[in-house]
Amino acid sequence: MNSPNAEYIKNLFGSISGTYDRANDVITLGLVRLWRKKLVQISGVKTGQSVLDCATGTGDLALEFKKVVGESGRVVGTDFCEEMLALAPEKAKRQGLDVTFAVADVLALPYADKEFAVTSIAYGIRNVSDPILALREMARVTKSGGAVMILETGESKTPVINKFINLYFSQVVPRLGGLVSGKRSAYNYLQNSSRTFPSGDEFLTLMRSTGAYSHCECHTLMGGASYIYKGTP
């Protein structure tokens, strides 16, 4: 597993920030919206609780959490790419949702131990330079018995489905992403990082290796195109 360069990742996401939401919808055929809702449901988050969404990008997952925790709940969305994060407050305002957004790195979260009931990251863990440190940091700021939630791309254990997923991500995704954003090279990178990052049982092994979780589980989406992982600190 190769560690991505943090500055490269920051510049890459900054370059596609303006078209990122539209490209995500096109690439996933809109399914990413349903998957975010499913992650929130699996987290077990309740009204009035506190949530931290790391690598929040333009804030979509943070906003989904806010809809559930309500006015009495607290949601913070963080990202180390300021260009992506800059788009989030206006999106929250349009939806009438009060979410706090802050520039922060998941590898060094500026929050107290056990501060949040749920900590999450969607399509971001594979792009950090040290996934194990990120998993430990997310567990550190999450209450004991709470939930660390991760949404990430993967691969199917069924050969026929996996062949289709690989073909789609290697041939279709860079073209679609490039068409929408004008930055095909960015989506070539994102496709390659997806293909080489551990998924399913391999990612669960990575989570357990941190020593930060008492329980880990995963949920398969669309035959393995993506996975939802849940860890209990």
Q: Are 60 and 21 in contact (CB under 8 A)?
A: yes
pLDDT of residue 178: 66
pLDDT of residue 156: 67
pLDDT (tens digit, 9 = 90+) per residue, 88-102? 999 999 999 999 999
CA-to-CA distance for 127 and 3, rounded, in angstroms?
Answer: 8
CA-to-CA distance for 117 and 81, rounded, in angstroms?
Answer: 24
* pLDDT, the chain, mean: 89
pLDDT of residue 29: 74
Residue 36: HSE in the Cβ half-sphere, 13 Å Cα cutoff: 22
pLDDT (tens digit, 9 = 90+) per residue, 3-29? 678 888 888 777 877 777 777 777 777
What SS3 class is residue 77?
strand
Residue 201: is its pLDDT beyond 80?
A: yes
Q: Are 56 and 77 in contact (CB under 8 A)?
A: yes
Between residues 114 and 173, the one the model is more confident about: 114
pLDDT of residue 56: 97
Tell me 13's DSSP state. H
200: enclosing H helix or E strand: none
Residue indicated by tokens 């303006």: 18
pLDDT of residue 211: 97
Which pTM does this prediction carry? 0.88
Residue 180: is its pLDDT beyond 70?
A: no
pLDDT (tens digit, 9 = 90+) per residue, 58-84? 999 999 999 999 999 999 999 999 999
What SS3 class is residue 219?
strand
What SS3 class is residue 78?
strand
pLDDT (tens digit, 9 = 90+) per residue, 126-161? 999 999 999 999 999 999 999 999 999 887 666 666
Between residues 153 and 210, the one the model is more confident about: 210
**Pairing outcome for strands 74-79 and 100-103:** parallel
What SS3 class is residue 115?
coil
